[in-house]
Amino acid sequence: MFSLVYTVSSLLGMLFAIHAICMRLLLLALVLCTWVAAVPTALLTRQQQLEAVTEDEVSLYVPSAVVAGAVSCGSRAVNAFDCGPACDKLNDAGTEVLYYDGDGERDPWIYLLHIPSDEALVIAHSPTNFSSFVSVLIDADFWLSTVDGPLAEDMDFEDGKNIAVHSGFLRSVNKTYEELKKRLIAAMDDLEDEISVVRFEGHSMGAASAAIEAVALSSLVKERGLDLRLTTFGSPRVGNEDFVDLLEATIPLENRARITNQNDKVPHLPGFPYKHYNGEVYIPKEDEKEIPTPAAHCDGREDDRCASKFNFFQRSKEAHEGPYFDQTLSRSVCTNADAYPPK
């Protein structure tokens, strides 16, 4: 009899334990279901909070896009203002070419422009020339290299920091940096009563070069009481976290815009340990109704509501060319076939 009672008691105990476990699992399932159901709502709310760019901001971005488009067409085209609509707009603005270098292949084009109507000096770099194998090799040299020499001397960073950037981009910048610096100083001195801002601009590889030079030359610009603006289009990641920290500390957020277009694949390159700096301005696809038009300010260095939301299979080469506020940035829009290397 005692054995029977003990057996029944044990069975009841097991049933109560199983019941308790089931209730806990049910409660956990309810919590998870509630959380999963809330996630889309939370994401939608977050998406709705993206701040739209203003008309005044677009009016600053468009001239930079015009420059970034023109400089891909080669020095003969830009010097003659004969490269299509972008060069026509530069010519109408009274633009002067103060300095240029490069060949569009082994060495990307670099320009120092004076645009009187904008009261601006503009330093602009050409993007990768995909018709040139040696130009593509610059992109392919994506190991991180520590910044040293004249560039490092002009960057204001603390001891112990390892400021490192893309090796190919660094090598390109180093080739012309000292001459560019000399020409910029002369232009700022000669035009001191005619300029109020120095702009650094570029598309793709040119965007990366512009970012490196903006950090290095910022002290020279600021000590003359001039504004400095960095506006880039379709920029790849440029350097490591120490470099990004330095850029963000050197150039105020309101003075920089890293503009990305839809599902462009280039802003996703290179990968870790490269970082993006914050200040992304995202141009959405037509079906992204939750993103303000014509573009939105994104939060942080890589906002998962903006360009970084696209996975590897969703990214596009075509989106890299734009349009960026109605400007297509590609050598395909250059109209003077004799003025630049063959496509």
Could you tell me the CA-to-CA distances from 191 to 79, 92, 97, 129, 229 in Å, in that order? 20, 20, 14, 33, 18
CA–CA gap between residue 6 and residue 11 (Å, rounded): 9
Nearest 5°: the CA angle 47, 48, 49 is 90
pLDDT of residue 270: 97
The DSSP code sequence of 171-226 is: HHHHHHHHHHHHHHHHHHHHTTTT-SEEEEEEETHHHHHHHHHHHHHHHHHHTTT-
Residue 33 has pLDDT above 70, yes or no: no
Interval 223-258: pLDDT, tens: 999 999 999 999 999 999 999 999 999 999 999 999
CA–CA gap between residue 266 and residue 268 (Å, rounded): 5
Residue 28 has pLDDT above 70, yes or no: no
Interval 63-72: pLDDT, tens: 999 999 999 9
Interval 77-120: pLDDT, tens: 899 999 999 999 999 999 999 999 998 889 999 999 999 999 99
pLDDT over 90 for what percent of the chain?
Answer: 72
Interval 5-27: pLDDT, tens: 334 344 434 544 444 444 455 44
CA–CA gap between residue 76 and residue 100 (Å, rounded): 10
CA–CA gap between residue 75 and residue 176 (Å, rounded): 15
pLDDT of residue 293: 94
pTM for the model: 0.84
Residue 39 has pLDDT above 70, yes or no: no
First to last CA, the chain: 98
Interval 250-295: pLDDT, tens: 999 999 999 999 999 999 999 999 999 999 999 999 999 899 999 9
Nearest in space to 232 (alpha carbons), one of 103, 141, 320, 326: 320
Tokens of 289: 């109704």
Eight-state DSSP code of residue 25 = H
Nearest in space to 66 (alpha carbons), one of 83, 53, 48, 51: 83
Q: Which CATH fold would you assign to the domain 53-333?
A: Rossmann fold (3.40.50)
| pLDDT band at 4; cut points 50, 70, 90 | very low
pLDDT of residue 138: 93
Tokens of 314: 């969703």
CA–CA gap between residue 34 and residue 321 (Å, rounded): 42
